[in-house]
A and B are shown apart, each in its own frame.
Chain A
């Protein structure tokens, strides 16, 4: 879990260090989400390193982290299309950026079992949005 969170944090650090890319208006909306995710991850780090982590606070932070990513996803994909259509950024730069966002999503999926381990199946449903919780559904 620590390792995964650390990797996500590093990715956000990189994304922020190389931002904005092309000043497309979508980046105005993406920026606060990147900053918030970065801040939340830092706080999660701090809490997890405490001997007795504040689980209530941690739950809030995880909730925000996933919601940030939910909001980021369509914006970032739109940014990718816009950048190509407007020919304002080389496609390899755009693709690299999109790959990084996708890697964050994969890491967020990897975190789910840990979150379930802390909060249980039912509470996790309210922390982690459905598409990050891959499960085979109704059995008919």
Chain B
């Protein structure tokens, strides 16, 4: 049972009572917490958790509690903008939409359908995504439909295709409440999904279960609660898993009956992991062999197991192979489709899974295979278009689209509710590509990306529109409209319908391609499209979703109230005409042909793979001796377009920084808070240093939330744009860098002492001595050059830990370090 007690988190700023509380779902992380939006005088004035919603029982993430400040932000755009003479200038909707239509038609004429690319989001509604799919695939006949989900959870999709034939995470949060063991692999829910983590910890405190294994390169807040923490070297996830699987096989901790009946390919695992002895795994991962043995023993003997993954697994070398290796573990142990067991590959955003499900990104709607003629025919019939109008083949990832933009092959790039100029790796390359392309940006605010836009369209935000979202465990939640958007603003859904109408998209009988007018009508059409497919929602209605506070797909005749876990019958989607994809070669990423897929003869059985470790492409070396990794803070969301507009969140974490281990800081003479320059072969940033013990020696961590074009704090000035060969997800988590303090040099004059210089620069004597590598008695003579930091900033990031008493258990903080400022 989840949650012993409810707790209604509320954040309200209203004089007098609210007029109404409107049913909705949190629009921040992927957990999918139920909430109510407080409304007074047709304005959003607060939020409270929905205590009847099983997922959160009233709790909210700190970002979720503060998301509504963006709605009332004074700098919201209220009119479209068109770039004229180099600057964005206000325009009417007619002007903007007609220009998009003109540009679209021109592109279709000159470049063709593949000259138009959509790049959407994981924060929209299923109805918006489905409409993107229908317009993009059937209207424009393009297959370049991508989204920021590529940066977030594309690996989830691909590891599920590979092992089980279809998207859809097998386990759900209910299994987390039942499991004996949970492995959080590259997943830091204490900061990225606080309600989910609180759920785990609440049960742990009450019952002692589950046993928690955490795998991470950083000693995260999550790791601090682990029973077993495996702190590995960057880029060695797969080496660790191969080491664990080696021990499972060696000790016979496998379910031979399950393997024989429900899987194919077992022999491949044996061969691939044979060499991965504990000593070999230790050599590569840096984790002592006996700790790896301990982890294998727990995993090998547990009666139930849930493994979660997130960006530490996805945005890294061997991403899909790593997640497939986790699927392998569940399959060879027979721990899938049973209460308390199954892989739970997470999502990062509130509805990134939903975009995949309905075809706004990735494959065709309803988990249909774009390489299967039968599925293309089905879609053509459902949409009443010619089969030849629907392009064959899966999507291209954003890195590939950027490459097409560089070559001038994209005539129109339509960017919806995402900020790629802050979030894409190696962003200077991306910027040049965007500047080379006609770009439409749909965003409520001016962002780094609107700087390269030709047209900006202002859409409604959460609370101002209705629709459904799919969270990380297949739960479909409803959002209802609490207030009207400000004058002059349209919903994403409305903008797309307007575009379809202006383009005059028709079906093969000459009738309008899109006939629905409201999100609910769209959902009803989607239900027909989903029928009979893995993500069947034919038995769902808006009313039911609200009544039951979300339902997990499939929601069909057999399971009218949804399905907590998939594959409880051990039948997988691996018949060739059922599969969502024929998959790819796990090592090279080469797409398999239908015949190759058929030759595997999985036919309803899960597929096991040999997983082969490949080291990260870029590694530390003499010129760039450190690893760089990036990640999130509990206090901010993505590029802070929303959370940066909450005074509370912005005050807690106002600027970027670089975390460096105490030992490295000492070696380099870096003092806490001083300005440092972090450089990689792509670029450099200047941020204050946070000297901590949470990153291992040799590793620098930079949060990716920050970075306007002016302030030079963007982690993505540094990151590499290499991608996983299967999922095409960028490897944000590993590249090389160097770090050095940014300092002024001062010459000691006859009227100045060393102590004077320390005082003027706000430093203690010890700090100044440390910077200048001086020993007591700190003598400096006239004419000597003394280095002082260019600036110092006290970078304190308070932890958010509702599951424990932070007074009793203080988080590691900067002032506790030996080199503290007085």
Contact = CB atoms under 8 A, between A and B. Distances in A.
B584 interface: yes
Given A135-B113, A137-B108, 12 more contacts: A36-B590, A73-B400, A78-B721, A78-B722, A84-B681, A125-B393, A130-B143, A130-B391, A137-B142, A138-B140, A140-B105, A140-B108
B141 A137 contact: yes
Contact of B593 (A26, A67, A130, A135): A67
Interface in A9-50: 24-26, 28-30, 32-33, 36
Nearest to A24: B617
B816 interface: no
A40 to B, nearest CB: 11
Contacts of A84: 681
Interface in A51-103: 60, 63-64, 67-68, 70-71, 73-75, 77-78, 81-82, 84-87
A130 B392 contact: yes
27 contacts: A24-B617, A29-B588, A63-B593, A67-B592, A67-B593, A68-B590, A71-B588, A71-B589, A74-B403, A75-B589, A78-B617, A78-B722, A78-B723, A82-B722, A85-B618, A122-B388, A129-B393, A130-B114, A130-B143, A135-B112, A135-B113, A137-B113, A138-B108, A138-B113, A138-B140, A140-B105, A140-B503
Interface string B358-401: 00000000000001010000000000000111011100110110
A74 B728 contact: yes
Q: Quick one: which of A33, A77, A81, A130 has the most chain B CB within 10 A?
A: A130
A125 B594 CA distance: 13
B156 to A, nearest CB: 20
A81 B503 contact: no
A32 B588 contact: yes
B652 interface: no
A25 B590 contact: no
Nearest to B735: A85
B595 A60 contact: yes
Nearest to B142: A137
The DSSP consensus for interface residues of chain A is: helix
A16 to B, nearest CB: 15
Interface of A: 24-26, 28-30, 32-33, 36, 60, 63-64, 67-68, 70-71, 73-75, 77-78, 81-82, 84-87, 121-122, 125-126, 129-131, 134-140
A50 B114 CA distance: 37
Nearest to A70: B591
Nearest to A125: B392
The DSSP consensus for interface residues of chain B is: loop
B109 interface: yes
Interface string B696-728: 000000000000000000000000111101001
Interface string B613-631: 0111110010100000000
A139 B505 CA distance: 10
A71 B109 CA distance: 29
B158 to A, nearest CB: 13
B587 to A, nearest CB: 6
Contact of B109 (A24, A81, A125, A136): A136
Contacts of A70: 590-591
B271 to A, nearest CB: 16
Contact of A134 (B112, B142, B389, B392): B112
B725 A75 contact: yes
Interface string B325-342: 000000000000000000
Given A60-B595, A86-B618, A126-B392, A137 B114 contact: yes
B108 A136 contact: yes
Q: Quick one: which of B108, B139, B623 has the most chain A CB within 10 A?
A: B108
B40 interface: no
Interface string B572-615: 00000000000011011111111100000000000000000011
Given A78-B617, A81-B721, A130-B391, A140 B504 contact: yes
B682 interface: yes
A85 B682 contact: yes
Interface string B101-114: 00011001111111
A139 B112 CA distance: 9
Contacts of A63: 593
A121 B389 CA distance: 12
Contact of B590 (A71, A77, A122, A138): A71
Contacts of B139: 138
A71 B617 contact: no
Contacts of A126: 371, 373, 392, 594
A137 B112 contact: yes
A136 B617 contact: no
B140 A137 contact: yes
Contacts of B617: 24-26, 78, 82
Nearest to A129: B393
Contacts of B396: 131
Given A126-B373, A137-B113, A74 B400 contact: yes
Contacts of A25: 317, 614-617
Contacts of B397: 74
A82 B682 CA distance: 11
Contacts of B388: 121-122, 125
Contact of B725 (A29, A134, A138): A29
A24 B725 CA distance: 15
Contacts of A32: 585, 587-588
Nearest to A56: B595
A122 B387 CA distance: 9
A28 B589 CA distance: 12
A74 B584 contact: no
A84 B587 CA distance: 24
B590 A67 contact: yes
